[in-house]
Amino acid sequence: MTYIHTKRKSKGKKPSFQNNINSPEFVFKWVPVKGIRISPEENKKVYEEYKQVRAQLLKDTVYNPDGSENKEGISRLRQAGMTDKQIFEFVANGKTPNGYNYHHLFPRAISGSFKKGPVQFGNEVLSSIHDWRCMMPLPNTPNRDIHQNVHSAMDKRNGYFPERAGTKLTYYIAMPLSAQEYEMYKQNPKSVKEELLIVTPSSFKTVDQREKKNNKTLNPINIAAMNAAKGR
C-alpha cells in the first residue's frame, strides 16, 4: 500500500508534521493482542474498577512514580493533539480536557486474558488492564470524532467480538507510536516500518510500511545442487 503524506510547501525550511487537535491525521500502528471474552457482568465490574483509578491513570501518563516526566506518556498525549497546557494543567491533575474521551486501547470486553497472568501488549508485558499504557485520550469533538473513527477502524479490521464468555481470540488494536517512532514519523513518515492506521476526522485507512521479506522459492534443480554440494 502507498501513503502520500501531504505537507505544506515552504521555501528554505523543511516542512514539519504537526499533530494537534486541528491536525488532518492521527497515526497509530496495528498491534495484535491475545484476549479472552468476558461476560457483560464482568465487563461492568471492570468498568467500575476503572472509574476508581481513572484519575490516577491520567496522572501516571504525565509523571512516573519518582516524579520525573513520563516521556512515553507525554508523547502519546501530544500524538492525541494535546498542547502542553492541556497536558500539565489537566491530564497531570487526573482530568481529560474538553473535547476528549479516555479510550481503552485494550478493549475491556476481551480483558479476561489478564486473569491468566501477564499479557503481551506491544513491546511490553502488563499485569492489569488498569494501566496507563492501556489507555489514551482521543479527540471526540463534533465533526472531529477521532475516538469513534478508531473504533470503526478496529471493528472493520477485527469484526464483532464473540458473544460467548471465555472465547479466546487474537485482536488487532490501534496502538499509538512510541516516542521514538513519533519523532521519526514527523521527520519522515515512511521511516516507521510498521503497519500503520491513519485516522482523519472523516476517514481511516491502513498503510503497510513493513519491510517485505524476500521469500525465494528453490526449484528442484537448485535443491538437487545443494544436496550434491552437501555430499561432497
pLDDT digits (tens, 9 = 90+) for 101-120: 999 999 999 999 999 999 99
Residue 135 in grid coordinates: 489507555
For 65, the grid coordinates are 512514580
**Residue 11 confidence (pLDDT):** 36
Q: What is the pTM of this model?
A: 0.81
For position 12, what pLDDT does the model report?
A: 37
Residue 143 is predicted with a pLDDT of 84
pLDDT of residue 222: 53
Residue-level pLDDT at 21: 47
The tens digit of pLDDT for each residue in 163-175 reads 999 999 999 999 9
Give the separation between CA 143 and CA 149, rounded to whole angstroms.
11
Residue pointed to by grid coordinates 475516538: 147
3-state secondary structure the chain: CCCCCCCCCCCCCCCCCCCCCCCCCEEEEEEEEEEECCCHHHHHHHHHHHHHHHHHHHHHHHECCCCCECHHHHHHHHHCCCCHHHHHHCHHHCCCCCCEEEEECCCHHHEHHHHHCCEEECCEEECCCCCHHHEEEEEEECCEEHHHHHHHHHHHHHCCCCCCCCCEEEEEEEEECCHHHHHHHHHCHHHCCCEEEEECCCCEEEEECCCCCCCCCCCHHHHHHHHHHHCC
State residue 142's pLDDT score.
87
Measured between alpha carbons, how far is residue 128 from residues 11, 98, 111, 223, 228 in Å?
Answer: 49, 27, 9, 50, 55
Residues of the chain with pLDDT under 70: 1-23, 214-232
pLDDT computed for residue 165 by the predictor: 97
C-alpha cell at 229: 554440494
